[in-house]
């Protein structure tokens, strides 16, 4: 139980294009999901908290107009990187807060974004 998926697992795009990453909780409903970013050899950095049916809460320093988050259902949150640039290349990981479990965050497998 408590499986979280992400799609795509990797994506390569040209600078200036937008990329959408999906995060799904497969066997549980998640009113709250989180989006993280991880650069090589570094720890995970929280970007935003996504709540179903409401606007996402962004961490300080994260541009909300650049990283659009939509949590339209209890099992799906999406992160759109708009007008991507090479410095946005990173490993993006989502997590979902379990319900009926001990409030544990369950993480997706991550999405590797490379912007050329």
Partner 1 sequence: LAKTTQPISMDSYEGQEVNITCSHNNIATNDYITWYQQFPSQGPRFIIQGYKTKVTNEVASLFIPADRKSSTLSLPRVSLSDTAVYYCLVGAPRNFGNEKLTFGTGTRLTIIP
* Rounded least distance, CB 41 to partner 1, Å: 9
Computed on alpha carbons and rounded to an integer, the radius of gyration of the chain in Å comes to 13
For residue 112, count other CB atoms closer than 10 A to its CB: 14
Q: To the nearest 5 percent, what fractions of the chain are helix, strand and coil?
A: 5, 50, 45
Site for partner 1 contains 11 (CB under 8 A)? no
Which region, judged by CB under 8 A, interacts with partner 1, from 14-22, 28-36, 62-70, 76-84? 28-36
Nearer to partner 1, 52 or 82 (CB): 52
Site for partner 1 contains 19 (CB under 8 A)? no
């Amino acid at each position: 139980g408590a499986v979280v998926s992400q799609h795509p697992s990797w994506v390569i795009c040209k600078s200036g294009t937008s990329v959408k990453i999906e995060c799904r909780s497969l066997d549980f409903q998640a009113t709250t999901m989180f989006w993280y970013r991880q650069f090589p050899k570094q720890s995970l950095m929280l970007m935003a908290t996504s709540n179903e049916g409401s606007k996402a809460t962004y961490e300080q320093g994260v541009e909300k107009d650049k990283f659009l988050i939509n949590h339209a259902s209890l099992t799906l949150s999406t992160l759109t990187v708009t007008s991507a640039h090479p410095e946005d290349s990173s490993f993006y990981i989502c997590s979902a807060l379990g319900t009926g479990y001990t409030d544990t965050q369950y993480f997706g497998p991550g999405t590797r974004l490379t912007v050329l």
